[in-house]
Structure 1
Amino acid sequence: MDMASLWNKTLSDLPTDLFLRLRDYLDVSYSHNQGWRAIVANLNGRYVLSSTEDFERRESPTTALLTKLRSLGMTIQEFVQCAIRADDFVIMELFDVHTPVTIVHNPLSEISAVEGETVEISIEAKGFPPPQYQWYKDNMKLEMATENVLRIYNFNIKDEGEYKCAAYNDEDILKHIFSTSCKVYVEPVQPVPPLEIKEHPRPCFVFTGGTAVFKCEVWSSAQLSYQWYKDEQKLQDGLCVQGSSTEELRIKTNEMDSLQWEGNYFCQISLLHPCINYPYEYVFTQAAALKVQPKPNPSVQSNKFTYNATDKVALLIGCYDYRSDRLLSAPGYDVQTLSSIFQSMNFKVVSLLNLTKSELLAAVDEFSKLVWKGVYCVFYFCGHGYEVSNQCFLVPVDAPFMYQHPECVAANSIFDCLLKRDPQICCMILDICRKPYIGQPPEVPLSQQTYEKGNAIVCYGTSHGLAAYESKNYGILVKHLKNIVGQPLDIESVFRKLREAINEDPMLNNNGSKQAYKQIPEVRTNLLEPKRSFTDPIDIKGNTEIYHDKTTIWELAHRKPDSFYFDVKFDNFIVKVKLDFQQEFSNVLKIYTSILDPGPTQSCVAYVSGVPADVAEKAKVRTISTGLDNRLKKNFVVIHNIQRLK
């Protein structure tokens, strides 16, 4: 039968045998996307029907439907076009329809995979007869690769290359449609151990009857087991021990035998379920000492003054990603380490990385709003710096090549800004070089200084004319300061012990070593109450309202988005996704993307994209865990400089 001759005729001219075949096929309809109901759902224009109840009551709904459409003057061509919209291949075959192939979804432009994984490259095309497929690698035809999904099992370096697929429903090669190319490359399994300690437990000092807390954290996507030890003796949970097999250990000291808990504590972390990608592995944390001090005797201490703060705040800034100067490696670690320690002492911490000059000044201005009478205030900067005319200058990350002081920030200007707020203690710690910078004028204008009230102390990481050094992971200053600053010592003693510790470092100031560096910290202080300590408690009595106002300001600036769930809807299925957020620094946000339900897909990945250019260069997507035979993936991306997001 010549179907083309029927095209412009109405449904009343439909041949009897064709009508009967349509009726028998379309009468089987259990849903809106099947049978006669699918035809009704895809009617358009003047053929749209408001109700189907009349058809449902008939012995043959199809006969009633075709009669109705025939009365409206529908042509056979219009009916077939409706069937095409419904993707009804049976009707399309009955009427010998041919629609050219179009590609609906191209493969990903780039895929990386670890050796040994299964790689999937997919394409989706439409047309009738249904499309056929042929995959190519580097323009060479792949035998037996004739499905819309190409699976490469046990992927290795020989499988690297450029893949594309031809989709067609006509033997004429000129009518074959090619997909875009997908570059596939190997991401080798890194030879580094899968367990890496992110945070070691820290020394702890408690009074008799107090509770000591030790914590550790490990970089790993695998499930882990923990076991804490005291002086090589395995700990078990009991009356005084809690969390011996978790990442947080709590030791409750009692009045009778508190000294028995003094000692060195460390944790062994191992894989809960060793697997092929993670051979059996375990690591030990560094040991942290617990010191138990007797409670002060009220009768003895009655004449001694107890110090309190109305609040405690710290601004910690690290710059390492310089545009026109040598990149540094330690500031991120140093800021993270000090942030954790100051938080443990109940400081409100603002931690920032890689600030431009305008951002640095704005950060100080905003931070100063947290400072008021009676507050303990700490400012820390780690990055490039120099000294000229007895003034230290901090170098922001956007400083140009051969920068001079107008492109930098005078440390005195920051200190003065904070001193004007009348804090009880104002401490500035500068981990910078104090050598003159090449090209600087011999003298610079002196910044005006605020009248000091005996509340200031400055710790320089090194002395005038000397450099400040770093190793691969930490700066020399923080290497020693982290072991001291959290102790219940008066502030001047903290920095005295710091100088002593650096003096004992065999890599520093050792004339007998060819590898020794010269770094001598310097401390300037005019504290009239030198016995005050960073560990002093906060007492808000009489200042409750202003304390809560400042707390609200700080909390609003550090409020991270709540976790949320959403569905990604496709034509025939739904993928369920979850987003989680973790704030590593005040201006750095880590976004976790988890696939909760991949639907019928063989492999499903979700990640954050569309990040603005000035933070996107730091936004590398990393897969940290998989599940359900690699169908569920959890990725994260780190967004830096979130203050630049509008």
Structure 2
Amino acid sequence: MGDWNLSIGALNEGIRSRLAEKLDNGTCGWRQLANVVMDQPQFRCSENEMTTCSLQVLSPTGSPGRYFLERLSERSCTLGFLLQCLKKIENREAVQYLTATVMEQIRITLQPQSQHVAEGGRAVLVCKASGPAGIGYQWFRGKEEVLDGSVPELVLCPLTPGQQGPYTCRVNHGENFTFSDWAHVRLVRSADSSAGVRSSLFSPSVSGVCIIRQPQAQAVAEGDTLCLECYAEANPPPQYQWYLNKQPVPMGKDSTLKILCVTTADRGQYSCKVFNLYHEVWSNQVHVKIDPGSSIHPSFAEVNAAAMPIPTRQMSKLYATDKVALLMGNMNYVHHRPLRAPMADVHELTNLLRQMDFKVVSLLDLNWQEMHSAVTEFLLLLDRGVYGLLYFAGHGYENYGNSFMVPIDAPASYTSENCLWVQDVLQRMQERETGLNVFLLDMCRKRNLNDGVPPQPGKLKVTANIVFGYATCVDAEAFEVNKDDLSNGIFISFLKQRVMEDEKVTVMLDRVAEDMGQCEITRGRQALELRSNLSERRALTDRIQPSGCQETTSARNLQWAIAHVLPESRNLQFDCGVKVQLGFAAEFSNVMIIYTRILDKPEDIESCSAHLTDFTGDLELDLKISNQETLADAGSLLPMDILIPTELPSLYTRLKGLQRLKKELTFTVCLQYQYMNLDEEVQERQTVIVGKPLVSKLNLYETRLPRSHSASSSFSQSTSFSECFGSSFPDTDNSSIGSASTIWSYYSQPKVSSENINLPVEDDSEGLFDADLPQPLRTSKSLPHGQVEDHTYRFSSMDNFHSC
């Protein structure tokens, strides 16, 4: 069956052109269609549009029917509605063509997956599609067709270096065709130890299917909606097939089975088969009872026909309106011992949170002003029902229940005035009416003897949605483990094993604490401490269900996206005929990788290379590790070959501290080349300007104005984002990004006893490291608060930021 709910835009170019030909007539054509579709106001065309449509006949290739279909496509007209209207104007030829086309639409049901395979091993790429009988398959490696690649499964065995690269499958039937996603096949050379380390951290490998959420028994009243869920982790990604009384459910091919308006025919035993190319597992079998006269509340489910109903998790109520995370890692302190682990810790946690649909801002090495500004931008992205997570790795301290994060420019004998106050951040998060506030503080909690009377926070609201996960106990230090060329903090080493579990946040952290307690090298030295007043079973894996205010959601997404824009890849043509490609990738929100490679060179040039130099003065750039042949040599954690899926040699340069970029990023590409039979080397240079990439658009270096008490009362929680942004908000052009900011003032908090900030403690406290191989321990986050200076903050931007 075809999907008539798709938009007209889902039809490919050829099909729309053929359909338009059948509408370019005066009896049952586009004019008659325009009169019929006006029954729905959103599809009504203006006089100007109708005139423009008529004038299409003046162009040799113009088509009024095609122009009219484009207007309907822009208004999201569905294929089903178009078919009804074509029947009303009795255009039988168009009806027959559209019906046949939609019924024969090709849909890819299983996309090929990227794979890392040892040389001589076996790689299997699978592409499956649904549609008319006789679908054909054509595999391509890059632009070259793969011989014998006319089947859904492409087997590469034994895999050779010449076979690695990007693959796609062309699925076709007659004139209709579609292409699959690209899948990259890469070799993993076991002899390369450094590659092996990174492969284990970042590269996908074939794994079994593991069901992480089982379906639950249900008791539903007739006429209600039945919703069963089964979630699994697997590589390649899992597929699902639901069964009722051991018979497959035709529409049950997703992780969630939803049946609207159930009847007694829908009762029985449900189960789900979860499978991929290599494995297959079955979920628990659960009983669903449909009672014609039932008035059972949806928060209860029946385990079996004879059991009493017991409460289950109310999935419909436990959701986030959005999920936002700020991750900060400070390593290179000016006046204190540098750390090694925060970079890898922030990188790994970023990747895990993104898999749970968090919008993540990850920042390294921030000074005092930059930390304050970054936290402010993070707070202003929060809203009612949003899950907010703040992670900090670096030096820190705790005095009288108040925790402080130390910036990299803190003086030798710092106090609270030189640091960022965690409890103040919490209070300001509460003002945003967030759904969940999670603080993960990977720092020491030793007392700072240089600090005097601690600041007094404002009174916290009783929100029952606060979770503090401390990497260590009060008056204790946190440690990092150095292993090979990578370092991890003890906390993240265990947290990354558990953070994606579909459990209440506190339960997940309890298990992390238990794991740490069983590890020999941490026992008696470091123990996770959990403080929480969370009263609901909220998990980091909870789904996102946007609020009813689409304007608010769109504003947050756009603002997020603006500050995570990378420069576009570009090709530079030099006078000698050499073509150089520049590419860009984000490792963190304030760390960018630039790669250069030679795309083309004349035959009379024997050798050439392109180096980057003369960068804008605000950046942190280590010339010793610039223009390196591998990402690792450039100091990056990104896996090799993740940026360029070809064999062309490249040079990599890593730019840090983008938050300090005050002007547009400018640098010079220096091309050095040598002609055949000539000893002298020739040089050409081109200056490149790429604007302000990633987080540099936020201007975190700018000083904010003091906060005022009166300002806060003039702004209510219900004020929409557009009212704050002003008319310049939608403009995403680089030249006007600064105008997207607006002033938001916070009030000074009244002073209350520090006892008011204490949170109820949840007490619960397997080994990660080799027991017989002692690891070197280092104190990773010690050192030392005062009155945090009030500021006026701007809402700048930040969306989905991809690390490669």
TM-score (normalizing by structure 1): 0.55
1:250 to 232, 237, 243: 237
Q: In the alignment, which residue of structure 1 is the partner of 2:560?
A: 554
User: 1:308 aligns to what SS in structure 2?
Assistant: coil
Deviation at 1:333, TM superposition (A): 0.8
- Amino acid of the residue matched to residue 513 of structure 2? R
Report the equivalent of 2:417: 406
1:538 paired to 2:544: yes
Which residue, 481, 486, 491 being the options, matches 1:477?
491
Cα distance in structure 2, aligned partners of 1:563 and 1:534 = 35
AA of the residue aligned to 1:508:
T
Corresponding residue for 1:644? 660
1:583 aligns with 2:586: yes
Identify the match of residue 563 of structure 1 among 559, 569, 575: 569
Give the CA deviation at 1:488: 0.7
Determine the C-alpha separation between the residues in 2 that align with 1:435 and 1:413.
Answer: 19
Given the superposition, is the C-alpha separation of residues 477 and 297 from structure 1 closer, same or farther in structure 2, using an over 3 Å criterion?
farther
Q: Which amino acid aligns with 2:471?
A: G
Question: How many angstroms does 1:254 deviate by?
Answer: 3.8
Give the C-alpha shift of residue 541 in structure 1.
5.0
Residue aligning to 2:366: 355
Per-residue deviation, 1:309: 1.1
Question: In structure 2, how many angstroms separate the alpha carbons of the residues matched to 1:465 and 1:593?
Answer: 49
Distance 1:534 1:344 in 2: 11
Q: How does 1:104-253 map to 2 (within 5 A)?
A: 193-197=194-198, 198-199=201-202, 205-207=211-213, 249-253=236-240
Aligned to 2:683: none
Is the counterpart of residue 396 in structure 1 residue 421 in structure 2?
Answer: no
Distance 1:565 1:443 in 2: 59
3-state SS of the aligned residue for 1:593? strand
Aligned equivalents of 1:535, 1:297: Cα separation in 2: 26
Q: Report the AA paired with residue 596 of structure 2.
A: T
Structure 1: how far apart are the matches of 2:324 and 2:283? 27
Tell me if structure 1 keeps the 8 A contact 2:213–2:232.
no
Displacement after TM superposition at 1:563 (Å): 1.2
Change in CA separation of 1:606 and 1:212 when aligned onto 2, cut-off 3 Å: farther
The answer to whether the 8 A contact 1:207-1:295 is kept is no
State the one-letter code of the partner of 1:644. R
Instruction: Name the CA shift for 1:432/1:297 in 2 (closer, same or farther; >3 Å).
Output: farther
Shift of 1:560: 1.1
After superposition, the CA RMSD in angstroms is 3.2
Structure 1 Cα separation of the partners of residues 424 and 503 of structure 2 = 29
Change (3 A) 1:297 1:504: farther
Map 1:351-430; keep pairs closer than 5 Å.
351-430=362-441
Instruction: Determine if contact 1:578/1:593 at 8 Å carries over to the other structure.
Output: yes
* Higher RCO, Cα 8 Å, sep 6+: 2
1:23 corresponds in structure 2 to none
1:451 to 461, 474, 478: 461
Q: Does residue 488 in structure 1 map to residue 506 in structure 2?
A: no
More moved, 610-619 vs 449-458: 610-619
2:599 pairs with one of 596, 601, 604:
596
TM-score by length of 2: 0.44
- Secondary structure of the structure 2 residue equivalent to 1:547: helix
Larger radius of gyration: 1
Structure 1 residue 464 corresponds to structure 2 residue 470: no
Tell me the CA shift for residue 509 of structure 1: 1.5
Tell me, in whole angstroms, the C-alpha distance in 2 between the residues paired with 1:641 and 1:298. 56
1:515-570 deviation digits (Å, cap 9, x = unpaired): xxx111111111232x111111111251322112111111111111121112122x
Instruction: Give the partner amino acid of 2:584.
Output: F
Verify the 8 A CA contact 1:263 1:291 in the aligned structure 2: no
Q: Residues 55-107 of structure 1: CA distance to partner in whole angstroms, max 9, x if unpaired?
A: xxxxxxxxxxxxxxxxxxxxxxxxxxxxxxxxxxxxxxxxxxxxxxxxxxxxx
1:302 and 1:454 map into 2 onto residues whose CA distance is: 21
Distance 1:416 1:291 in 2: 46
How many residue pairs get aligned? The number is 385
Report how far residue 603 of structure 1 moved. Answer: 2.1
2:351 alignment partner in structure 1: 340
Please, which of 621, 629, 632 is the counterpart of residue 623 of structure 1? 629
SS of the residue 1:539 aligns to: coil
- Of residues 483, 486, 500, the one that matches 2:514 is 500
How many Å apart are 1:313 and its aligned residue? 0.8
Q: Aligned residue for 2:330?
A: 319
CA distance change for structure 1 residues 640 and 607 in 2, over 3 Å: closer, same or farther? same
Structure 2 unaligned spans of 5+: 1-190, 215-228, 244-270, 290-295, 301-311, 632-639, 641-646, 664-804
> Are residues 191 and 535 of structure 1, via their aligned partners in 2, closer, same or farther at CA, if it must alter by over 3 Å?
closer
Q: State the secondary structure of the residue aligned to 1:446.
A: coil
Identity of aligned residues (%): 30
Q: 2:70 maps to what in 1?
A: none
Instruction: Give the letter for the 1:580 counterpart.
Output: G
- CA offsets, 1:257-279, max 9 Å, x none? 967869999xxxxxxxxxxxxxx
Contact 2:238–2:274, Cα closer than 8 Å, also in 1: no
Matched residues in 1 for 2:339 and 2:358: separation?
27
Does the aligned pair in 2 maintain the 1:212–1:252 contact within 8 Å? no
2:80 aligns with none
Which residue of the other structure, out of 530, 535, 541, is the alignment partner of 1:523?
A: 530
Q: Which amino acid aligns with 1:595?
A: I
- Alignment-mate amino acid for residue 641 of structure 1: G
Structure 2 counterpart SS, 1:474: strand
Distance verdict in 2 for CA 1:484–1:205, change over 3 Å: farther
User: 1:431 matched to which residue of 2?
Assistant: 442
Paired residue type of 1:607: H
Does the aligned pair in 2 maintain the 1:379–1:428 contact within 8 Å?
yes
Q: Which amino acid aligns with 1:563?
A: S
Give distance in 2, aligned partners of 1:496 and 1:387.
22
Distance 1:540 1:611, change over 3 A: same
CA contact (8 A) 1:480 1:498 kept: yes
CA distance in 2, matches of 1:263, 1:525: 42
Going from structure 1 to structure 2, the CA distance change for 1:205 and 1:372 (only over 3 Å counts) comes to farther
Deviation at 1:613, TM superposition (A): 4.2
Secondary structure in 1 matching 2:556: helix
Give the letter for the 2:655 counterpart. I
Quick one: structure 1 residues 418 and 293, their matched pair in 2 at CA, closer, same or farther if it must change by over 3 Å? farther
Amino acid at match of 1:370: L
Q: Matched residues in 2 for 1:343 and 1:193: separation? A: 25
Letter in 2 for 1:553: Q
Structure 2: distance between partners of 1:611 and 1:417:
38
Equivalent positions of 1:40-51 (< 5 A) are none
1:634 has 2:641 as partner: no
What is the CA–CA distance in structure 2 between the aligned matches of 1:200 and 1:614, rounded to whole Å? 34
For structure 1, the residue ranges without an aligned partner over 5 or more in a row are: 1-189, 215-247, 266-289, 511-517
- 8 Å contact kept, 1:387–1:435: yes
Secondary structure of the residue aligned to 1:372 is: coil
Look up the equivalent residue of 2:526 and give its one-letter code.
Q
Distance in 2 between the 1:365 and 1:564 partners?
A: 34
Distance across 2 between alignment mates of 1:382 and 1:463: 15
TM-aligned CA deviation for residue 607 of structure 1? 2.6
- Aligned partners of 2:389 and 2:608: how far apart in 1? 47
Report what 1:236 is aligned to: none
For residues 389 and 542 of structure 1, do their structure 2 counterparts lie closer, same or farther at Cα, with a shift above 3 Å needed? same
